[in-house]
Amino acid sequence: MRPSTFLVAGLLLAQIAGAQSSRLLLADSAISNRVSLLPPPQQVRPLKDPALAGILSFVLAGSGQVYTGKVGKGLLIFIGTGVLVTQASACLRRDSLDSAQEPCAFPGFGFAALAVGTWLWGVFTAPGDANEYNYRTRSRNP
């Protein structure tokens, strides 16, 4: 065979391959045009477990509220409980010692009761906060 025959055969193969690739490109562009007409996928936010929110608040005051997205409320419960526990222990320690220091104006047991009340408020409202979060999430993502 002559070299020109190989050249012609090569050009024919290149032409066929080019036609095939151009058909594929046209098919890809048609598919991408159809895909671009679809609405974008919605971001589905995961739901929060009310029991886990209550357990988290039981273990660490305010953490259940932070878990459900109410960071301000969670920090308020955490800091409030911490301040009240610190004040209660300081007053109870001061009242138990026979020292020349003045006793606390508010009894240490009162601060302790307020601290326990604040902590329990966080424990019992955390599941409701999780349910509220789930309701808002479901109403956004039908």
What confidence category does residue 72 fall into, taking pLDDT thresholds of 50, 70 and 90? very high
What confidence category does residue 93 fall into, taking pLDDT thresholds of 50, 70 and 90? confident
Provide CB contacts within 8 A for 83, sequence distance 6+. Answer: none
pTM, full prediction = 0.64
pLDDT, tens digit (0-9, with 9 covering 90-100), for 16-38: 555 555 554 445 555 555 555 55
Spacing of C-alpha 120 from chain mean position: 24
Torsions phi, psi for 107 (to 5 deg): -60, 150
